[in-house]
Chain A
C-alpha cells in the first residue's frame, strides 16, 4: 500500500513537471501546426535564466520567496526575448508547409540553441537550491516529501486550467480557437492571425521556459539537459494526441506513473518505459488518445 502511494505521488510529481513542458508543446502544435523540436532548447534556456536570475536576486539580498518570483521573471524574459526572434524571424515563413519539414526547421533551431546556450552561459554547471528549501518537508503517510516538489503539482494544475479556461472563457482565447478551426475564415473576418500565432507561440515558449525554471532547483543546470526533455515531452503529447490539452494531461500522468512504477518495481526498464508506452499507445491509437477528427475530401 505504502509502495503504491509512493509510486503514485512520485509519478504525479514527475507528471506535473512534464505537463508544464508538454502543455506548451501541444498548444503550439494546436494553434500553429508546429511540432517544436526547439522546445527542449527553450526549456534549457529557462533553466539557465532562472539559475542566473535567482543567483542575482539572492546576491542582492532578495532571497526567500523572491527567488520564486525570480524564476517566473526569468521564464517571462525568455519568452519575451526569444519568441519574436524565432516566430517572427523564422517560423512564420513556413506556416502551412509540410509538418515534417517544419519539424526539421525546429530541429535546426534546436541545434543552434544548444550552442547559443553554451555561448551565453558557459559550460560549467549552475546550482540553485534555495527555492527548493522554501516550502520545507511535508509528511504524507509515513513518507516525507519536499514541499517544493508537491507544489509543482499545484503549479501544473494552475497552468493547465489557466490555458484551458483562457481558451474557452476569454475573448482572445475564443478567437484563438476560431483560428485553429478555420484560419482562412478567421482572417477574412478581421482576426489578426499573425498576432494570435505570436501570442500562442509566446505562451508555448513561456511554458517551456517555466518548466525549465522550475526544474533548475532540482538539478545541476548544465549542457545536455534539453536533449532528454524534448523526446519525453514529445512522448507525452503524442500519447495524448497532438494539440489536445486534456490529452497532454493524461499523457503526462500515464508517462509519469509508468516511469515511477518502473523506478520502484522494474528499475531495468526505467530508461525506456516511456518510449514503450508511446509505442504501445501509437499502435492501438495511431493518432494518440485524444485524436482530432480530420476528413479528406476527394
Chain B
C-alpha cells in the first residue's frame, strides 16, 4: 500500500477510535486526556525539532502565544468557535515562530536550548506586566462553541476532546508524512552530520528554520486547546517549567515516532494527576526517575519500541519502506 494512504488511514482509524473512547471516559479522565493531547501536540513540535538535532527549551513561548491569541479573540471579541480559535492560535504562533526562526536557526545544542528558553522568559515577563490582558493573573475565556453548536457541560467536554483528538491526528499524520518525505530525510541527516548535508548542497539553516516554524504552529495549536479546556490563560504558559514539561514528554516519546508523544503525554498527565492527589510531594521525583530511566534504557524514547521495526529489510512491494 502507498505510504501516504497508509499513514492517513491509520491516523483516521486512530482518531475515530480515540473519539469513541471519549464517550466511555469519566469526566476527570476526559479533561486529563484533552490536556494530554494538547501537550502531545506541543511535544510533537519538539520531536520535529529533535529530528533536526535540536531541543527547544522555550516551546512554552509559542504555546503561550497560541493561547493568548485565541484567548483574546474569545474573551474580547466573543469569537468562541473552536475551529476559528485553533486556526488563529496556530497561525499566530506560527507567525511569531517565523519571525524568531531566522534568529535562532544558526544556533546549536545548548545555545539553541538556552536562547529559546530566554526568549520564552522574556515573553513571560512582558505578559505578566501588561495589565490590559490580565497581567500575571491572566484572563478567563468563555466556553468554546463548535461550528454553531454550544453543547452543555458534559457534551461540551466531549466535543472539545473530540476536536483535540482530531487536531492531534491531523498533526501526527502530516508530521509522519513529512518525516518520511525527502525533506524529512534531509532533516534527519542534518541531525547526524550537518557538515555533510551542507556539502551535499542543502542548507541546515533552512532545515532548522522550517522545523522551528512547524514546531511553533504545533505549540500554538496545543496552547489554544488548553486555553479552551482550562477556560483560563496566564503568563505561566510561557514559563520555562512549562517548556521543560514539553521537553520531558518529547524525550519520553522519542523522535522515532509521531504517535509515541501522545502516549508519553497521557502517562505524564496521569502520573501527575494521580500523585497530585495521593502523594503531592513526590510526583516530580517520580517524573525524574522516569526521565532518567528512559534516557538510560530507551534512548530513542517509547517510540523506538515499535519504530525500530521500520528500519528492517525492505519487503518486495511497490513501496520499499513505509
Residues of A bordering B, CB below 8 Å: 35, 90, 93, 98-101, 103-105, 107-116, 118-119, 123, 227, 231, 234-235, 238, 242, 268-276, 278-279, 282-283, 286-287, 296, 298
Q: Does B205 contact A (CB under 8 A)?
A: no
B284 touches A235 (CB 8 A): no
CB nearest to A232 among chain B residues: B121
Per-position contact with A for B245-262: 1 when CB-CB < 8 Å, else 0?
Answer: 001100100000000000
- Contact across chains for A231 and B121 when beta carbons are under 8 A apart: yes
A114 neighbours in B (Cβ, 8 Å): 284-285, 288
A sample of 14 more A-B contacts (CB under 8 A), given A231-B121, A268-B129, is A99-B110, A104-B291, A107-B247, A108-B292, A109-B288, A112-B288, A115-B283, A115-B285, A238-B114, A271-B124, A274-B121, A275-B122, A276-B122, A298-B195
Among B114, B115, B291, which residue has its beta carbon within 8 angstroms of that of A108? B291
Q: Which residues of B contact A242 (CB under 8 A)?
A: 110
Using Cβ atoms and an 8 Å threshold, which residues of chain A touch B123? 272
Q: Is B282 a contact partner of A100 (Cβ separation < 8 A)?
A: no
B114 to chain A, nearest CB (A): 5
Pairwise interchain contact A99-B284, C-beta atoms closer than 8 A: no
Chain B residues whose CB sits within 8 angstroms of the CB of A271 once the complex forms: 124-125, 128-129
In chain B between 93 and 124, which residues have their CB closer than 8 angstroms to a CB of chain A? 103, 106-107, 109-111, 113-115, 117-119, 121-124
Bound CA–CA A136/B27 (angstroms): 59
Please tell me if B319 contacts chain A, counting CB pairs below 8 Å. Answer: no
Partner of B114, one of A234, A269, A276: A234
Known: A272-B124, A282-B115. A110 touches B129 (CB 8 A): no
Whether A115 pairs with B126 at a CB distance below 8 angstroms is no
Interface assignment of B142: CB less than 8 Å from any CB of chain A: no
B122 touches A100 (CB 8 A): no
The A-contacting residues of B in range 56-109, CB under 8 angstroms, are 103, 106-107, 109
Bound CA span A262–B287, Å: 36
Q: Specify which chain A residues have a CB less than 8 angstroms from the CB of B289 in the assembled complex.
A: 108, 112
Contacts of B126 in A (CB 8 A): 272
Give Cα A113 to B281, complex, Å. Answer: 11
- Residues of B bordering A, CB below 8 Å: 55, 103, 106-107, 109-111, 113-115, 117-119, 121-126, 128-129, 195, 240-241, 244, 247-248, 251, 281-285, 287-289, 291-292, 295-296
**With contacts A111-B285, A111-B291, A112-B288 known, is A231 near B117, CB below 8 A?**
yes
Q: Is the CB of B111 within 8 A of A287?
A: yes
Best-surrounded residue of A98, A103, A113, A275 (most CB of chain B within 10 A): A275
Q: B287 to A111, Cβ gap below 8 A?
A: yes
Does B240 contact A231, Cβ atoms closer than 8 Å?
yes
Using Cβ atoms and an 8 Å threshold, which residues of chain A touch B115?
278-279, 282
Q: Across the interface, do A282 and B281 meet the contact criterion of CB distance under 8 Å? A: no
Q: Is the Cβ of A115 less than 8 Å from the Cβ of B125?
A: no
Query: CB within 8 A of B119: which of A104, A234, A279?
Result: A279
User: Would you call A119 and B118 a contact (CB within 8 A)?
Assistant: no
A234 contact set on B, CB distance < 8 A: 114, 117
Set of chain B residues within 8 Å of A118, measured between Cβ atoms:
281-282
A279-B118 contact given A100-B110, A271-B124, CB 8 Å threshold: yes
A286 touches B111 (CB 8 A): yes
Q: Contact between A296 and B295 (Cβ–Cβ < 8 Å)?
A: no
Question: In whole Å, how far is B1's beta carbon from the nearest beta carbon of chain A?
Answer: 36
8 Å CB contact of B284 from A104, A112, A123: A112
Shortest A124–chain B CB gap in Å is 12
For A112, give the chain B residue with the smallest CB separation.
B288
A298 and B110 alpha carbons, distance in the complex (Å):
23
Cross-chain contact A282 with B114 (CB below 8 angstroms): yes
Minimum C-beta distance from A36 to chain B (A):
12
CB distance from B243 to the nearest CB of A (A): 11
**Which 7 A-B pairs rank lowest in CB-CB distance, beginning with the nearest?**
A272-B125, A112-B288, A271-B125, A111-B288, A115-B285, A275-B121, A108-B291
Minimum CB–CB distance for A104 against chain B, Å: 6
Chain B's closest residue to A33 (CB) is B110
**A269 / chain B contacts, CB cutoff of 8 Å:** 125, 129
| Best-surrounded residue of B55, B109, B114, B122 (most CB of chain A within 10 A) | B114
Give the most central of A103, A104, A111: most B CB within 10 Å: A111
Q: How far is the CA of A231 from the CA of B113 in the complex (A)?
A: 12
- Interfacial chain A residues near B55, Cβ < 8 Å: 100, 104
Q: Give chain A residues whose Cβ lies under 8 Å from the Cβ of B195.
A: 296, 298
Please pick, from A105, A270, A282, the residue contacting B118 in the complex, using a CB distance under 8 A.
A282
Q: Which chain B residue has the least Cβ–Cβ distance from A109?
A: B288
Residues of B within 8 Å of A90, CB to CB, are: 292
Are A275 and B118 within 8 A (Cβ)?
yes
Are A278 and B114 within 8 A (Cβ)? yes
Which chain A residues lie closer than 8 Å to B251 at the CB level?
Answer: 104
Q: Which residues of B contact A278 (CB under 8 A)?
A: 114-115, 118
Q: Can you list 20 A-B pairs, Cβ within 8 angstroms, ordered by A?
A: A100-B110, A103-B110, A107-B291, A109-B292, A111-B288, A111-B291, A113-B288, A114-B285, A115-B282, A269-B125, A271-B125, A271-B128, A272-B124, A275-B119, A275-B122, A278-B114, A278-B115, A282-B114, A282-B115, A282-B118
A222 to chain B, nearest CB (A): 13
A234 to B240, CA, bound (A): 12
- For residue A105, which residues in chain B have a CB less than 8 angstroms away from its CB? 292, 295
- List, in ascending order, chain B residues with CB within 8 A of A108's CB: 287-289, 291-292, 295
Complex Cα distance, B244 from A109, in Å, reads 13
- Which residue of chain A lies nearest to B239 when distances are taken between CB atoms in the complex? A227
CA–CA, A269 and B124, complex, Å: 11
Which chain A residue shows the least CB distance to B282? A115
Q: Within 8 Å CB of B248, what residues of A?
A: 107
